[in-house]
Structure 1
Amino acid sequence: MNNNVHIPVLLHQVLAFLKPTSGDVVLDCTLGAGGHAKEIAKLIGPNGHLYGIDADERNLSIAKENLKDISNITFIHDNFENLEEIGERVLKERGAVHGILMDLGLSSLHIDQPERGFSHRFEGPLDMRFDPRQNLTAADIVNTYSIKDLQELFSTYSQERYAHRIAKRIADDRPFTTTSELKSSIEASVPLAPRRRWRIPGRKGVHPSVTRVFQALRIATNREIEVLGHGLHGAVNVLSPGGRIVVISYHSVEDRIVKNVFRDAKKEGQLELLTKKPLEADTEETATNVRARSAKLRAARKV
């Protein structure tokens, strides 16, 4: 894999709503490979400063290499769940926070590392942790959670139609250690008729239930919903008046949380909504960047 290849999602829309200008202080809360950060750094110039935050130390290493020619950036190995504390330190150092970006979910960097266990496409351990320092893994969840808890997890985080059947089959088949073992168990739990309809000539890939269950496990492993809630509230609190926040989500559970936090902050007189409905990528972008197909962007301005 070439770590330097990275296509940032909805880049033009991010820059249009974030409006980074010379001298601004911007927090990129999910730095990844640094695709958005590179363009933001150009616009804020040498008088501005960018803080690149990522919970994944491997991502930070890649970003540092990709952004090695940019001097006005500070790299922070932390989870944006702690954004309020991070933001308060930035305010002491810089005096203001003019922009905050969150590009949520799974990056292509994670998918392309089989040893991380994020993708059903590759054989690997059932890990799925963004930050290897944490204890809980996806294997812990599938091997120890009750059928009821697994069903609730799959229903809540991925709206999985066959949540109960899959949870029961997992309980019957466990323990699991690899992605391929879990993939086989999920596929076997889907009723025969839907499996046959899916396996028509010319159709590639696994049954959608596999993708949805892997998504739910990743969300649970990394406490993504709880992290997002804390991060959004922290962002609202540390953003300076007139500052902007842009959030890109990739599934309905995330987007609903962003929508509700923004709505509540508007009611409290903290935010002005800049997007009435989430923006999506056009056909030109989705044709060249698969990750953009499910992306939804919301933006707001601090009052």
Structure 2
Amino acid sequence: MENQENQEKKHKRRVRYSGTHPRNYKEKYKELNPEKYADTISKVIKKGGTPAGMHISICVNEILDFFDIQPGQQGLDATLGYGGHTSKMLEKLQGEGHIYGLDVDPIESAKTKKRLEEKGFGPDILTVKLENFANIDKVAEEAGKFDFVLADLGVSSMQIDNPDRGFTFKAEGPLDLRMNPEKGISAAERLRDISKEELTGMLIENSDEPYAEEIAEAITEKIRKGGKIETTTGLHQVIEETLAFIPEKERKEAVRKSSQRVFQALRIDVNNEFEVLYDFLDKLPGVLKPGGKVAILTFHSGEDRLVKKSFKQWKKEGLYSEIAKDVIRPSKEECFRNSRAKCTKMRWAIRAEE
């Protein structure tokens, strides 16, 4: 009996990987346990990388400088993600005030809530809600208006890096791309019934894809003939085959960029990102206190155009007293430390006094 118990308690060794360095997401066990392997995390970040399962927040100093958060204020992080921005904003409150954090991802928001609680940010100062930021008006009805609101419109690195979520073509995984995998339809399902014309329009509108027509034709023709595009690598392969006409010297980079744009366009579509952003921008002035501030980080031209247009319109109508004249970009040093910061644009606005 005792031997049996000892066998049950026997330590189970982790699965070994070939070579000297882990290659895929699940093999990076040290990066996936940052609390235990802090040295490994530090080394990855110093080299300009993002540890697997983590997300390095962008423009933190610029956001904090603009908000000038004071103890006792109430804020909203409309896109909680890994919680990096929220954590820094909570520190500025010095134990007085409250921040609401919203996210549609049930998997990551639960992890972030636990992570922030372990840092000492409990329900007395932080409320995490599984809620789309299009519904900020409902949140404000419950919480009251906000002194500051942040929205980081980028996809979190832990979503991109995990092949099971289907956000990247660099690893085999289901072609999903949903922020909340429990709602809506996956990208694979979306492609099954889409027409060439609709897909072409989607690729142009959502990502300015220069080879939209060629790629849309290849995808829809493959499916029409009974083929399936169910995985991330499967879609990448179709794009690669479609762009075979590009000179070999330029082809690899062209395929990489087109793959990024196609995945972006599909992600925007299956998550209704533009529609959600429209609603968010439309409701923003109504949830800010007089003099309240909003900062938004965008990562592609379509998002930035919507934010810029909305801010200008609300300023014209007198709801914003001041808006950013130019975009704020991460410093060269930050872009070196975090390559995913390079395409970031930050815009801000201040609610007019009533």
Same fold (TM over 0.5): yes
> Separation in 1 of the partners of 2:328 and 2:314?
20
The correspondence for 1:181, drawn from 224, 228, 234, is: 234
For the residues of structure 2 that align with 1:17 and 1:147, how far apart are their CA atoms?
45
Relative distance call for 1:3 and 1:98 in structure 2 (3 A) is: farther
SS of 2:75 mapped into structure 1: strand
**2:152 counterpart of 1:103:** yes
2-structure distance, mates of 1:112, 1:180 = 14
For 2:130, the equivalent position in structure 1 comes to 77
Percent sequence identity is 36
Q: Give the 3-state SS of the residue equivalent to 1:98 in structure 2.
A: strand
Task: Write the mapping of 1:175-254 to structure 2, written as runs, cut at 5 A.
Answer: 175-199=228-252, 206-254=255-303
Residues in 1 aligned to 2:198 and 2:247: alpha-carbon distance in whole angstroms: 25
Which residue is equivalent to 1:52? 101
Over 3 Å counting, the alpha-carbon distance change for 1:38 and 1:3 in structure 2 is: farther
Q: Which residue number in structure 2 is paired with residue 148 of structure 1?
A: 197
Any idea what SS the aligned residue of 1:190 has?
Answer: helix
- Aligned 8 A contact 2:335 2:342 in 1: yes
Aligned to 2:43: none
Rg: which structure is higher? 2
Mapped to 2, the partners of 1:125 and 1:98 lie a distance apart of: 41
Deviation at 1:272, TM superposition (A): 2.5
Provide the C-alpha distance between the structure 2 equivalents of 1:132 and 1:90, rounded to a whole number of angstroms.
28
Equivalent position of 2:20 in the other structure:
none
1:289 equivalent to 2:338? Answer yes
Give 4+ residue runs of structure 1 displaced > 4 Å after superposition. none
Q: For structure 1, which runs of at least 5 residues remain unmatched after alignment?
A: none
1:198 partner letter: R
| 1:272 counterpart = 2:321 | yes
Asked if the contact 2:312–2:323 (Cα under 8 Å) also holds between the matched residues in 1, the reply is: no
Q: How many correspondences in the alignment?
A: 295
Contact persistence 2:80–2:86 (CA under 8 A)? yes
Q: Which amino acid aligns with 1:70?
A: F
Partner of 2:44: none
Distance 1:211 1:7 in 2: 20
Residues 2 and 206 (structure 1), Cα distance of their counterparts in 2 relative to 1, 3 Å cut: farther
Partner Cα distance (2:81, 2:188) in 1 = 24
> Greater CA deviation, 258-267 or 4-13?
4-13
Residue 273 (structure 1) shift: 3.0
Counterpart residue number, 2:178: 129
Aligned-residue offset at 1:2: 2.4
1:2 counterpart = 2:32: yes
> Does residue 206 of structure 2 align to residue 157 of structure 1?
yes
Q: Which amino acid aligns with 1:180?
A: T
Are the structure 2 counterparts of residues 109 and 3 from structure 1 closer, same or farther at C-alpha, using a change threshold of 3 Å?
farther
Q: How far apart, in 1, do the equivalents of 2:88 and 2:203 lie?
A: 37
Q: Structure 1 residues 276 and 3, CA, compared in 2 at 3 Å: closer, same or farther?
A: farther
Greater relative contact order (Cα < 8 A, sep 6+): 1
> TM-score, structure 1 length as denominator?
0.93
Decide whether aligned partners of structure 1 residues 155 and 3 sit closer, same or farther in structure 2, where only a CA change above 3 A counts: farther
Q: Which residue of 1 aligns with 2:142?
A: 89
Gap regions ≥5 residues in structure 2:
1-30, 35-53
Q: What is the deviation of 1:99? A: 0.6
Q: Say if 1:100 and 1:3 are closer, same or farther in 2 by CA, change over 3 A.
A: farther
TM-align CA RMSD = 1.5
CA distance in 1, matches of 2:114, 2:303: 30
TM-score, with normalisation over the residues of structure 2?
A: 0.80
Distance 1:109 1:293 in 2: 18
User: Deviation at 1:206?
Assistant: 4.7
